[in-house]
Structures are given as C-alpha cells and as structure tokens.
Chains A and B, each alone.
Chain A
Amino acid sequence: MAEATLTWPKNYNEVPKAAFIRADLYADEIQRIFHGAEWHPIAHESELPNPGDFKTMRLAGIPLLISRDEADVVRVFYNACSHRSNQLETAVMGNKTEFECPYHRWLFNAKGDLVGCPNPREFLPGFDKADYPLGQPRFELFYGLIFVTFSSETEPLETFLGEAGETLRELMAGDGRLKLLGYQKVRYDSNWKGYNDNDGYHAPLLHAAFKMLNWQGGKGRQYTCTRRGHVCFESALSVASGPSVLKDKDLIAFKGQDPSVGSRIVQLFPTFVSTKHLDIINLRFATPIDAETTEVHYAYFAHQDDDDEMLRHRLRQSSNLLGPCGLISMEDASIFHRIHIGSHTPGNAIFQKGVRDPSKLESEFLQNDESGNLPRWEYYRSVMGFERAEA
C-alpha cells in the first residue's frame, strides 16, 4: 500500500488543513482507522427490541446486518451471502428469522447458520453447509450499545472506552434500557474529521438561540481519556430563564431527574458522538461516504420505564431541538459544510481557546475550550504515521 505522507506542525494546537481534504489520505484512513484497530458503535440493541428484529447499514463501505434471534441473542454479521457475497438483506430494518439470498437461494437463520442450499451435489466434493455460515466481524456490547471492529488486534472494548465508559453509561440513562423513538438521517458535505471536530465541541457563541432564550450554559467539565483522545463533557443542566420568545416552552423544559449533571456528551474516536441534553438521549452513528461526505444517523431514545407523558415529551423535544433541523443545532450542520469549504486553503487550522502551552497536551478542559480536540488529533497523527516537525 502506498502510504500518504503529511508533515505535521510542531505545535499540538495546529492541524494541517490538508488533513481534511486530501483524497489520498482518505484511502489510507479507511484502511488504518475504519478497517483498522478501532471500535465503531453501529446500533443500540433497543433498535431491534423483539426476536427476529434486524437492522442493516454500511460502515465505511462494509455492509453489516445486526439481528436478534428467537432466543434474544444479538449478533452482527457481514450483510453478504457466504457463497458469492451477494448483498443478503436489502431492508434497512424489519423482522425475519431467516435470510434468503435470491441469487442461488442459500438460506441462513438468525444465528448465521447456512440451513439450506439447493442442489449441493453439484458443489465442490465434500461441500459441508457447516463451513459456510455468514461471516462475522468482532463485536461487543456495552449497555446495549453494539460496537464492531474489523481487526483482530483491537484491544478489548472496555480498554478502548476507558473512563469514557462511565460517562457513556450515564448518558444512556444509567442502565442502557432504552426505547427507540426514531431516526433523523442526513449527509453532510464535510470530511468525517470536519464533522467530528465540530459536532461534539462547538462554540456556544454560534448558538443565537442561547442568547435569545436567555439560556446560560451550566457549569461543567470537559475531559479527554485514553490515547485516542475520546472527549467527554459533563455539565449541570441549565434551563432558560427570563422571557422566552417561544410560545411552546416545553421544547426546552427539563422533566427528568438529576439536573446536577443533566447534560453529557461522549465523543469516541473516530466518528461517534452521543449526547444527553434536557430529556433527549441521542446516539449519532456516522460513517464516511467519501473524502467530502459524511452520513450521520441520529437515533433518539426514551427509557423503557418512561410513562406515556414522558415518552411524549421526549418525542416532542427530540424531534425539534438537536438534529439537522433542530432549534439549537441546525447551524452546527452549516459549520460542518463551511469548515470543509474553508479547509481548501493553505496552512494550518490553529486552535486557540483553552490552549495554554502549544507544546503540551492536556486532559482536563473547561467546558467551552476547543483544545479538548487536540489529544484526538495527536492520536490521528500517530495512527496515520505522520511525522511531527521538529521544535
């Protein structure tokens, strides 16, 4: 494999803009990161709550099928027939306990076993169905959140998550017993790193809504953990005060428990962002489509113990507040596009806010510091094998 090279600036707070746009780097990123030794969240098991439920998607091109069998066991498969690799299931979600490939009528059960194929006498001598189950990537569950990796060298998921695991558990209502409310899916005209660099973190200055609603940010912390620089935010929930320009104030009401740490964000390398804000529980499954495009599936959840009133409230709040059309986040989406366009200019993006010493990396930050992204960039640099310029 031809290796793309890029000289990295000596200061930790500088990122070459070329990293966002070079197509030759993109091919290398897919190999080293998306098909390499990283864990990628692809679904929460509550998206397939009943026996026979399944979900399909593609992660960096790789087609995946997640199914729940009759005994309630969730498994991840490659969504490709074990014979000639014809795409097995075409529906995005549904309920089936058997999957039949229409090409040569190979039939698989929800455990991935090949249970039927016509005319096996005409196959290779010694053909045995037991040798042809559906292929599987490695996968692990964390409070119902399903992760896959395509490398045998990836460390255990718990190690990968590190301290972020605890924040992620809290974000998923503390126990991961979620109930799916639905999806908002969108493609952004942005490299995956431009999306990732600006989704978890973004400047409150951007949000005109905060100012108009007299909505001050709560006190909180931002920390990074593991060598990958996963970023976690934990902050007190603040509720808009003063006269509101909104006629339906329920949009920004908090009806849940524990406002002391009512707002959480967990951002995992390379692309996953999740947030719990007010009564919204939102897991964002993102995948690169090409060097210029990132597809994000915003999945929203309630808790299984919610009463009808709370369920309704979460539905009303989730639909209108945080997604690609949400009151306080629509303009984030615009930033992903504009960062991508602006990165087609020479030089480096220079991070400022929260950077005290550009020759050092830190792991504790103030809530609105942009420097929380820097440990992740350092990991990206190292996994891509780029040399840092001498001091």
Chain B
Amino acid sequence: MTDSIDGLEMALDRLLLADANALDSKDMKGWLANYAEENEASYYCRATENTEHNLELGFMFDDCRARLEDRVTYVNEIWAGTFQDYRTRHFVQRVSHWQVDASTAEAISNFSVFMTPMDTGVTQVLAVGRYLDRLRLSDAGDAKLLSRRAELDTSVLPRYLVYPI
C-alpha cells in the first residue's frame, strides 16, 4: 500500500514511463506487464470525438485481460512482416491524480506521440491526447494499470496503427 503522496506520485510516474518505454521499444510483453493480472484489466484507444458523442467504438477495444494478451500476439506474431514499420516516441506528463481507496488510484496524463516511418525517415505527429488511467496499487508500493483509456484529440489518424498508443 502506498500511504504517502510522494510515494504515490513516484509509483504513478514509474508506471507511466515504463509504459512509454515499453511501447517505444516495441516490447509488447513489457507493455502487457504494466497491466494488472485481473481479468477486467483493459486498454482502450479511441477518438475523444467518439467519447463526447457517447459512441463507445474505438481504434482498439481490449476490454479484458485475454484481449490484452491477444494484442501481444497480433503485433509479435500475426502482423509480423506485413507492414511498413515505424519508430515511436511517447512524451507523457501526469497532470492530475487522486487516490480512490487503499489499493486504487486514478490519474490523467497528457501524451504526444511522434512517429518516424523507417522507409521515409520523416518524423510527424502520430497522435495527441490524454490517458485516463485507473491503477491497482500493491502492498509493495507498485502501480499497475487496471484500465487505461487513451483518448485521442487526433480524431483523424495520419496512419494505420500497429502498436498501441
């Protein structure tokens, strides 16, 4: 359990950075490891435009642990070799957080993701938006994602997505 504010902030930021690092390293197993083991662990990636109009459909809709595990399989096995690869750099910044109960916290963070396709080498913005996170806090003071909603200001993507945001 995390009882000090400083401890909570450190735990949240460690997780935020670990996720950015896993994504930018294309380490999908590392990405999965940032999520809680619970069956309801979830990741959604959706245009804020949809959310604001009560439209639940997203670019990615992984509403259970099995789907998170399947996304690792999509990227590492099913899609391997079929697309133009690109590098990403996630810039993340926590802007708000609060503790819900002893083992749960919530946080809002801004993100911007740059993309550099390997073939052109020309960098552009892939997406900008906010993470709305619900986090499970362990007795040891670690935080894992129980639910992450990547809400994209970018309602029109400049490219198809291979990796989660």
Contact = CB atoms under 8 A, between A and B. Distances in A.
B64 A208 contact: no
A209 interface: yes
Contacts of A93: 53
A182 interface: yes
B156 A187 contact: yes
Contact of B59 (A181, A251, A323): A323
A355 to B, nearest CB: 26
Given A182-B50, A182-B55, A183-B47, A248 B66 contact: yes
A331 to B, nearest CB: 4
Nearest to B44: A319
B61 A212 contact: no
B74 A327 contact: yes
A334 B46 CA distance: 21
Contact of B49 (A92, A181, A325, A337): A92
Interface string A158-194: 0000000000000000000000111111111100000
A112 interface: no
A300 interface: yes
Given A93-B53, A330-B162, A333-B160, A324 B73 contact: no
A225 interface: no
Contacts of A247: 66-67, 69-70
Nearest to B63: A316
Contact of A324 (B57, B59, B63): B59
Interface residues of B, number: 39
Given A92-B49, A319-B57, A319-B59, A331 B66 contact: no
Given A186-B159, A186-B160, A338-B84, A245 B57 contact: no
A307 B45 CA distance: 25
Contacts of B123: none
A188 B83 CA distance: 13
Interface in A105-120: none
A316 B156 contact: no
B66 A185 contact: no
B102 interface: no
B57 A330 contact: no
Interface string A277-298: 0000000000000000001000
Interface residues of A, number: 39
B161 A330 contact: yes
A245 B73 contact: yes
B156 A295 contact: yes
A206 interface: yes
Nearest to B45: A325
Contacts of B162: 325, 330
Contacts of A182: 46, 50, 53, 55-58
Interface string A328-351: 001101100110010000000000
Contacts of B155: 92, 183, 185
Contacts of B67: 247-248, 251, 320
Nearest to B53: A93
Given A187-B158, A209-B78, A212-B78, 15 more contacts: A182-B53, A182-B57, A183-B47, A184-B157, A187-B157, A188-B160, A208-B78, A251-B67, A300-B57, A315-B61, A324-B157, A325-B160, A325-B162, A330-B83, A333-B160
14 contacts: A92-B155, A181-B57, A183-B50, A184-B58, A184-B157, A186-B159, A188-B160, A206-B82, A208-B81, A246-B70, A295-B156, A324-B160, A325-B162, A331-B83
Interface of A: 92-93, 180-189, 206, 208-209, 212, 245-248, 251, 295, 300, 315-316, 318-320, 323-325, 327, 330-331, 333-334, 337-338, 341
In the complex, the 8 A-B pairs of residues with the closest C-beta atoms, listed nearest first: A182-B57, A319-B61, A182-B55, A333-B160, A247-B66, A331-B82, A324-B160, A325-B161
